[in-house]
Amino acid sequence: MTATTDGSSGPLRGGAATAGETTSTSAARTTEPGTDLREAAARAAERAVEHLLARQDAEGWWKGDLETNVTMDAEDLLLRQFLGIQDPATVGASARFIRGQQRDDGTWATFYGGPGELSTTVEAYVALRLAGDRPDDPHMQRAASWVRSRGGIAASRVFTRIWLALFGWWKWEDLPELPPELIFLPKWFPLNIYDFGCWARQTIVPLTVVSAKRPVRPAPFALDELHTDPALPNPGKRLAPAASWDGFFQRADKALHAYHKVAPRRLRRAAMNAAARWIIERQENDGCWGGIQPPAVYSVIALHLLGYDLEHPVMRAGLESLDRFAVHHEEEGLPVRMIEACQSPVWDTCLATIALADAGLPADHPALVKAADWMLSEQIVRPGDWSVRRPGLGPGGWAFEFHNDNYPDIDDTAEVVLALRRVKHPDPERVDAAVARGTRWNLGMQSRDGAWGAFDADNTSPFPNRLPFCDFGEVIDPPSADVTAHVVEILAHEGMAHDPRTRRGVRWLLAHQEANGAWFGRWGVNYVYGTGAVVPALTAAGLPGSHPAIRRAVAWLESVQNEDGGWGEDLRSYREEKSIGRGASTASQTGWALLALLAAGERESKAVERGVAHLAQTQAPDGSWDEPYFTGTGFPWDFSINYHLYRQVFPLTALGRYVHGEQLPGRAGAREGR
């Protein structure tokens, strides 16, 4: 077990899980026969409170490790190789982490217990070659053999082949074209940059420069062992019918390749300069871009290709920001370095505040007041990219990260408001003003269909996902049930349960309930997460526990409860119907299910009692829970996240509500407003 920076324990590993594996440990506590369940739950909550309080930063925030997959680490080493800034200590510590994630079959997965993934394995292999591992080493031979068996480099995703093209391992002309002139498309024109979700937008703009420049830094070795046929690395793909959208975009890509050869120099230079200005204007105060690692990496490369040397203030700040994504620990006395794709202090802090308050910590407890002060200081009071679609809307949201003023998050804003309302702050007027700004901003970000996306309003264009370039994950930000539920919940608690905009959100949620009674989870795995978010929102908005939608949700949760009393759902549920609601029990997913059941009035039910008992029984002596499974998502299935604080905050919130009831802020005001 590896110690992590948030003080919890969690493996940084990629091995497969057995079918019956649970997250309990040998140190787990059990409830003694005859012990009252509520007493056991109260004791478990007290231990969890102590554990969480001990991990609060002196400034008031919490942040758990955000674990993803080794592409972050591999691309960090590739970037350093490209820029010529690699150092032996960093390379060695990163390579040690990458090696430690390799599975017995030679592959690397994108989530704990998941299948080997081709592009991830290719990038990990190349990074280890750069670190000095030899192709005839047994672990490298296994990886190369598996890659060849899956089609080789030619079958990997576009982003992987872009990285290889930077070193001459792939031909630029065999990649989809992405012209920098895209920056000039007006906001009403299809495929303008604001048609893409903010995370894709921040990545695509710098990549247009890279695509135009087509740089090659000669590689120190060949990669013939990763091709099925080194003489023919790019077997042609048959074009889709011309009348289909796929066929249209494939032919458009061919036209753009032809345009690349004849693009007017002045126009191309102007486009790249405009892209550079766009990138620099969106650099955050800490030097990063969007608070996430991939756009920062590509922005640094793009600016470097445009002549910005490594000592330029913009470049220096960008490179320094990348170092802050590193998490350091030791294994067998040797340094290991893991790269986070992102950092989640605002999200972790608001969820921790809710958990502690719901567990009975006094509302004026110094830890809660300090957390509220920090959250208040993080509110964003200037416009960002969201204002392109909402130019008349005043700012007031919160972002996910330490620094990301351009892209506040609708979901974070909702949860921060719920957290602030749980704290008895010495300056209530300050809290009221911040909550009013945040609520007003969330209301203004409602999409036309009555629901909410994560970062933008009406980011639903059907075209970006069809581009040949976009073969990995979501590139648009349509409304989702989980985000919509969190906004509906705050509106209800702020006394706006009968506001027409809230009712539109409620109607959207009811219309998007699955036939089995669950709701899809966009930002958490999966239907357990979606259902755990929606049911509390609907009851907060006034739906009784007897409502047919609530009863269907309860029945579904009861039907997928595991024999051990917990709930779990594997990431395969995004692809396989048989995996929906099925998987080894986890603390976070058990917490989500219990939050829904408690909100539905099922406190005395057997399902709730079994779930609470499971949490009490699987808690470690230090008040924590072990959870190697990935229960968060960046892109469903394609990019998965293990939030190391989820295993603390959600079970604690559920235990607190079981012990103390749902004494949530604003509930009375919401009901009085009906």
**73 vs 337: CA distance, rounded Å:** 8
For the chain, the distance separating the N- and C-terminal CA atoms, rounded to the nearest angstrom, is 52
Cα angle 451, 455, 456 (rounded to 5 degrees) comes to 65
Same-domain status, 217 and 246: yes
Among the options 65, 76, 348, 411, which is catalytic?
A: 411
Number of other CB atoms surrounding residue 173 within 10 Å = 12
Average pLDDT over residues 413-427: 98
Asked whether the beta carbons of 153 and 147 are under 8 A apart, the reply is yes
Q: Identify residue 657 by its one-letter amino acid code.
A: R
Per the domain annotation, does 647 fall within a domain? yes
The pLDDT value recorded for residue 281 is 96
**301 vs 163: CA distance, rounded Å:** 11
Name the pLDDT band for 22 (thresholds 50, 70, 90).
Answer: very low
The pLDDT value recorded for residue 664 is 58
Report whether pLDDT(11) > 50: no
Per the domain annotation, does 19 fall within a domain? no
Q: pLDDT tens digits, residue range 465-480? A: 888 878 877 899 999 9
Domain edge (last residue) among 279, 312, 339? 339
Question: What are the b/e assignments for 435-452, b being 16+ CB within 10 Å?
Answer: bebbbebbbbbbbebbbb
Of residues 6 and 232, the one with the higher pLDDT is: 232
The pLDDT value recorded for residue 237 is 60
Question: What are the b/e assignments for 476-487, b being 16+ CB within 10 Å?
Answer: bbbbbbbbbbbb
The pLDDT value recorded for residue 238 is 72
The pLDDT value recorded for residue 662 is 73
Q: Supply the Cα-derived Rg of the chain in whole angstroms.
A: 25
Report whether pLDDT(580) > 50: yes
Average pLDDT over residues 640-662: 96
Asked whether the beta carbons of 612 and 655 are under 8 A apart, the reply is yes
**7 vs 331: CA distance, rounded Å:** 16
DSSP string over 551-580: HHHHHHHHHT--TTS-B---GGGGT-GGGT
Structure tokens at 245: 């959208």
Same-domain status, 366 and 290: no
Q: pLDDT tens digits, residue range 93-145? A: 999 999 999 999 999 999 999 999 999 999 999 999 999 999 999 999 999 99
pTM of the model as a whole: 0.91
The pLDDT value recorded for residue 20 is 37
List, in sequence order, the alpha helices (H) in 27-67. 37-53
Same-domain status, 325 and 397: no
Per the domain annotation, does 172 fall within a domain? yes
Q: Helices (H), strands (E): how many in the chain?
A: 23, 5
The pLDDT value recorded for residue 506 is 98
The pLDDT value recorded for residue 466 is 84
Same-domain status, 530 and 432: yes
Per the domain annotation, does 1 fall within a domain? no
The pLDDT value recorded for residue 510 is 98
Name the pLDDT band for 18 (thresholds 50, 70, 90).
Answer: very low
Lowest-pLDDT range of 66-75, 238-247, 340-349, 537-546: 238-247
The pLDDT value recorded for residue 231 is 54
Same-domain status, 366 and 297: no
Give 70's DSSP letter. Answer: T
Average pLDDT along the chain: 91
* φ, ψ for residue 66, nearest 5 deg: -115, 100
Same-domain status, 550 and 668: yes
Report whether pLDDT(464) > 70: yes
The pLDDT value recorded for residue 469 is 79
Q: Identify residue 381 by its one-letter amino acid code.
A: V
Same-domain status, 256 and 358: no
Structure tokens at 233: 């690395």
Average pLDDT over residues 156-176: 95
Report whether pLDDT(162) > 90: yes
Number of other CB atoms surrounding residue 202 within 10 Å = 27
Domain edge (last residue) among 281, 306, 339? 339
Count of the separate structural domains present in the chain: 2
User: What CATH number is given to the structural domain containing 572?
Assistant: 1.50.10.20
Query: What residue numbers bound the domain in which 346 lies?
Result: 52-66+342-461+472-672
Same-domain status, 480 and 368: yes
Average pLDDT over residues 366-372: 98
DSSP string over 116-171: B-HHHHHHHHHHHHHTT--TTSHHHHHHHHHHHHTT-GGGS-HHHHHHHHTTTSS-
Indicate the Cα dihedral angle 576, 580, 582, 588, nearest 10°.
120
Question: What are the b/e assignments for 211-237, b being 16+ CB within 10 Å?
Answer: bbbeeeeebeeebebbbbeeeebeeee
Same-domain status, 420 and 492: yes
411 is catalytic: yes
Helix axes 71-83, 118-130, angle to 10 degrees: 40
Q: pLDDT tens digits, residue range 208-218? A: 999 999 999 99
Asked whether the beta carbons of 483 and 459 are under 8 A apart, the reply is no
Percent of the chain at pLDDT above 70?
92
Q: pLDDT tens digits, residue range 325-351? A: 999 999 999 999 999 999 999 999 999
Report whether pLDDT(444) > 50: yes
Same-domain status, 294 and 361: no
Per the domain annotation, does 451 fall within a domain? yes
Which of these, 390, 410, 388, 389, lies nearest to 398 by C-alpha position?
Answer: 410
Same-domain status, 207 and 285: yes
Residue 326: exposure state from Cβ atoms within 10 A (0-12, 13-18, ≥19): middle
Report whether pLDDT(633) > 90: yes
Which of these, 434, 385, 383, 378, lies nearest to 403 by C-alpha position?
Answer: 378
The full length of the chain comes to 674
Per the domain annotation, does 399 fall within a domain? yes
Domain edge (last residue) among 290, 312, 339? 339
Per the domain annotation, does 143 fall within a domain? yes
Q: pLDDT tens digits, residue range 200-256? A: 999 999 999 999 999 999 999 999 999 986 554 454 567 778 777 777 778 887 888
Same-domain status, 60 and 110: no
The pLDDT value recorded for residue 32 is 45
Q: pLDDT tens digits, residue range 170-211? A: 999 999 999 999 999 999 999 999 999 999 999 999 999 999
Per the domain annotation, does 11 fall within a domain? no
Report whether pLDDT(434) > 80: yes
Percent of the chain at pLDDT above 90?
85
The DSSP bridge pattern shows strands 66-67 and 326-331 to be unpaired
Asked whether the beta carbons of 101 and 108 are under 8 A apart, the reply is yes
